[in-house]
Amino acid sequence: MSVEGPQLPVGTQVVVRVAAPDDRGGTAQRGATGRVAGITADGRYAVKLVDGRETVARRDQLSLRTAYQDEALELVQPDGDVLVREYTIYAAVVGSRAFGLDTETSDTDTRGVYVAPTESFWSLAKPPMHVDGPEPEWFSWEIERFCELALKANPNLLEVLHSPLVVQQTALGKELVELREAFLSQLAYQTYSGYVLSQFKKLEADFRRDGAPKWKHVMHLIRLLLSARALLLDAELVVDVGPHRERLLAVKRGELPWGEVEQWRLGLHADLDDALRRTVLPATPDVARVDDWLRSVRRRGLSR
């Protein structure tokens, strides 16, 4: 009889999960530690215990030593779906529909922010910092993680706060939106431009290998540069692409030659350099203001 599933190699450190007879007429107690010594004819594992005794056990009667320690400390983890359903303060549609680049086949992508109860952070079982779901195409961040990433000028999070398509907003969510200018800074130059540069190198490799890049990805990278240019020049993040819609969609359809797209990109990078020299955005975000607000959110969370 063979062992079902992945086989534990000889020498693997294991813990016996149930009491079992040993080879000396005694009992190997639950929690006894040893190493896999081999596999018996009936498909069980022979385990040599630390004191020299041997016992046999099925795979479901054994735990890897490190896993057993984790299991012993296991607590009930906070339910992320519940956090999203009951504690979301803000959610908005992002992606093509927010950018004004949607077509009849476009998905509706929603991103949200939830505030876990303050007391949940006092437990060893901390609330999750992000949750995928519970609805399709819906992803959320806990407010602390959201603030941390937005302060670093992560484009995905800044666009959540500036989306014109808000689907849920509480009083706290309104406060967060009113705070959004505090997240804006010259760090956007590095995050937007740096990401596009790294991605275009990969796209160029695709072009050399396959004869064509992933045009939808190319479109969104150009869109990021357009957005960053406007942000640096006007100190305001505008998500909708406005007059650039048709040309961007032409890129998505692969109707523009690669050379033309590359020239557009290079021109936008030059525009960004110029915009950085003229921007009125602060060098760094207003971390103190955001941190003060986050502290107030945690304090108010104690009374919920």
pLDDT in tens, 187-198: 999 999 888 888
Residue 257 scores a pLDDT above 60? yes
Angle at 300 between CA 297 and CA 303, to 5 degrees: 150
Q: What is the pLDDT of residue 211?
A: 76
Q: What is the pLDDT of residue 303?
A: 67
Q: Give the 3-state DSSP-derived string for the chain, with helices as H, strands as E and coil as C.
A: CCCCCCCCCCCCEEEECCCEEECCCCEECCCCEEEEEEECCCCCEEEEECCCCEEEECHHHEEEHHHHHHHHCCCCCCCHHHHHHHHEEEEEEECHHHHCCCCCCCCCEEEEEECCCHHHHHCCCCCCCEEECCCCCEEEEEHHHHHHHHHCCCHHHHHHHHCCCEEEECHHHHHHHHCHHHHCCCHHHHHHHHHHHHHHHHHHHHHHHHCCCCHHHHHHHHHHHHHHHHHHHHCCCCCCCHHHHHHHHHHHCCCCCHHHHHHHHHHHHHHHHHHHHHCCCCCCCCHHHHHHHHHHHHHHHCCC
What is the amino acid identity at position 52? Answer: G
Residue 12 scores a pLDDT above 80? yes
In contact, 54 and 99? CB cutoff 8 Å:
no
Beta-bridge partner residues of 140: 112, 131
Give pTM, 2 decimals: 0.75
Least Cα distance to 65 among 35, 22, 20 occurs for 35
Q: State the average pLDDT for the chain.
A: 90
Least Cα distance to 38 among 62, 59, 11 occurs for 11
Q: What is the pLDDT of residue 239?
A: 92
Least Cα distance to 131 among 99, 88, 191 occurs for 88
Task: Report residue 79's pLDDT band, with 50, 70 and 90 as the boundaries.
Answer: confident
Q: What is the pLDDT of residue 223?
A: 94
% of the chain beyond a pLDDT of 90:
64
Q: Within 10 Å of residue 57's Cβ, how many Cβ atoms?
A: 21
Residue 243 scores a pLDDT above 70? yes
Beta strand pairing call for 45-49 and 33-39: antiparallel
Q: What is the pLDDT of residue 4?
A: 57
Q: What is the pLDDT of residue 156?
A: 93
The answer to which of 22-36, 70-84, 283-297 has the lowest mean pLDDT is 70-84
In contact, 204 and 218? CB cutoff 8 Å:
no
Instruction: Render pLDDT for 27-63 as a digit per residue (tens, 0 to 9).
Output: 999 889 999 999 998 889 999 999 999 999 998 899 8
Q: What is the pLDDT of residue 304?
A: 60
Residue predicted with more confidence, 253 or 106: 253
Q: What is the pLDDT of residue 68?
A: 78
